[in-house]
Structure 1
Amino acid sequence: MDGQVGGSRRGPIRTVDVARESGYSVQQVRDLERLGVIPPAARSANGYRSYTPAHVHALRAYRGLAAAAGPVAARRLLAELRSRTVAEAAAAINAVHVRLAREREEALRAQQALCAIRAEAGTRAFEHEGDAMTITELAAALEVRPSTLRFWEQEGLVTPERVTSLRARRYGVAAVGAARIVAALRGAGYGIPAVREIMGSLRRFEGLEETGRVLQQRLDRIAARTVDLLRAGADLAVVVESTGPGGESGR
C-alpha cells in the first residue's frame, strides 16, 4: 500500500494489505470485522473481501482505544460511532479522556490518603466534623454504588462510623482515606483477598511502602493508557469525521 492509507489510495484494499498496514494478522482482521470493530467489507464477484482506507484507520484506532479503555469497551464504542453524528462521536471519544483523567485524580487522592495515614502515626487528631461524609456522598466521590461500600464493609476493607437509630453510615477522614485506597487498588485489578491483606498491613512500615508502590504502578498504567489513546488520536479523528449519514463508514 506504500503508506497511502489516509487519502491518496481510494480503490479496494486486500485483506493482507489491511493486516500489514494495521499491524494485525489476516485472521485478526476478519475476527475484528465479525465483532463489529470495522464495518463489513464489500465482496468482489469472486467473493474476496474489499476494504477501504477507513477500515485501516478504524483498526489502528481500535488498538489504542482498546489499550486505553479495554477491548470490550473499545469494540462497543467503535461500533456505536458509525451511527452517531460527528459531534456525538467526538463527545464519546472525549469521554474516554475524561474517564482516564478521573482515574488518575482518584489514584492521586489515594496517594494523599496514604500520606495522611503515614503522618497520622496512630492518632485521629487531624479529623474534623466537617470532613465526614455520608455513604451517598462517598459513593458519589468514588464513582461507585453505595452497595459497593457496604460490600467493602462486610469484607473488612472500610469501616464507617454509625450514627442515629437508623444506623446511617458516617465516614470520617480515616475511613474516607481508606475507601480511596481500596477504590484505587480495586481499579488496579487487585482482588478482595489481596486488598484485605494490603489494608491490614497499612499500619506496618512495609505495608505502607507496598501500598505506595502499588498506587504508583496504578498511576504509571493510567499514564501509559493515556499515551496509547493519544497515539490513536489521528486515526480516531478519521473515524469520527467519517461517521453518520454521508460519512465514509456509512456508505
Structure 2
Amino acid sequence: MAAETGYSVQQIRDLERLGVIASAVRAGNGYRQFSAAVVGEVRAYRDLAHAVGPVEARRTMRAIRMVPPGEAVALVCSLHTQIDRGREQALVARRALEAIQGEAETEAAPVETDAMTITELSRALGVRASTLRFWEKQGLVKPERIDRQTGSARIYPVEAIREARITAALRAAGYRIPDVQRTVAAIRDLDDVSRSLEALDTRLNSITDRTLSLLRAAATLAQIIESG
C-alpha cells in the first residue's frame, strides 16, 4: 500500500486507525491486507487534503462512514460551497481592483500618502465630504479619529483611501451600496493579497486546482457513502 500510494507505512497505519480508510483484513501472520478499493480511498484522501486541508479531509472521510447518506452527501456538498465562497470572494476583490486600476493619474486622483484629511480626500475623489461621512456610516470606509482642541477629526490612512477609491469607482459604475459593501468586505477579508491583481490570479488558480482535486475525490467519496 505504501509503495502504491506514496505514503509511508506509518501514515497508512494512522489513516486506518483514524477511520479515514477502511480497515485492513488481517492475514494469518497478522499482516494487513488492503483491497484495491482502499488504495482508491488513500488517493481520494490525498486529493481531499489538497482541496480542503488534511484536518478537514480526515474529519470528512471519517464522518461519511458514520452518518446517514443524506447527511454524508450534505457534508461533501458543503466542501464545494466552502471552496466556491473563496472563489467568489477573490473575484469580487479582483473586480474592485480593476475598477481603480485604470484611474488616470491626474491632479484630481488621490496620491500615495500616509494619510489624508476628509477635505483632502473629498477633493481628490471629487465627492462631497458629506458623501464620505455617509460611506463611513455604511461601513465602506473606516477613517481614524484623532482628538484636536476643537474636537475629533477624521484622518484617512492608506487603507481607508484605497477603500474610498474603490467605493467611488464602483458607485460611479452604477453599483448599489449593498454591492459595494460586499466588495469592500471581500477586500478586507483578503487583507494584503487584495493589493495585487497578480496575487489574486494566483489565488484563483489555486482555487481551481483545489476544486479539481475535490472533483477527483468525489467519485470515491460517493462509493463510500453508497456502501454504507
1:82 equivalent to 2:88? Answer no
Residues 51-130 of structure 1 correspond to what in structure 2 (within 5 A)? 51-119=34-102, 121-122=109-110, 123=125, 125=127
1:170-192 per-position Cα deviation (integer Å, ceiling 9, x unaligned) = x998886554223234xxxxxxx
Q: Percent identity?
A: 41
In the TM superposition, 1:1-251 aligns within 5 A as 18-119=1-102, 121-122=109-110, 123=125, 125=127, 133=138, 177-185=183-191, 195=192, 211-242=196-227, 247=228
Task: Tell me: CA distance 1:102–1:213, structure 2 relative to 1, closer, same or farther (3 Å).
Answer: same
> Tell me, what secondary structure is at the counterpart of 2:11?
helix
Tell me if the contact between 2:61 and 2:221 (Cα under 8 Å) persists in the aligned partners: no
Q: Aligned equivalents of 1:102 and 1:58: distance in 2?
A: 26
Q: CA deviation at 1:119?
A: 4.8
**Count of paired positions:** 177
Pair member with larger Rg: 2
In the aligned structure 1, how far is the partner of 2:181 from the partner of 2:215? 36
Give the TM-score taking structure 1 as reference length.
0.58
The residue number in structure 1 matching 2:122 is none
Relative to structure 1, is the Cα distance of residues 51 and 94 closer, same or farther in structure 2, using a 3 angstrom cutoff? same
Q: Deviations over 1:130-150 (max 9, x none)?
A: 997459xxxxxxxxxxxxxxx
Q: For residues 31 and 202 of structure 2, what CA distance do their matches in structure 1 show?
A: 46
Structure 2 residue matching 1:232: 3-state secondary structure? helix
Q: Summarize the Cα distance change of 1:101–1:181 in structure 2 as closer, same or farther, 3 Å threshold.
A: same
Task: Tell whether the 8 Å contact from 1:64 to 1:229 is kept in structure 2 after alignment.
Answer: yes
- Secondary structure at 2:19 match in 1: coil
Between the aligned partners of 1:241 and 1:31, the Cα distance in structure 2 is: 24
> C-alpha root-mean-square deviation of aligned residues, in Å?
3.7
Partners of 2:137 and 2:92 in 1: how far apart? 16
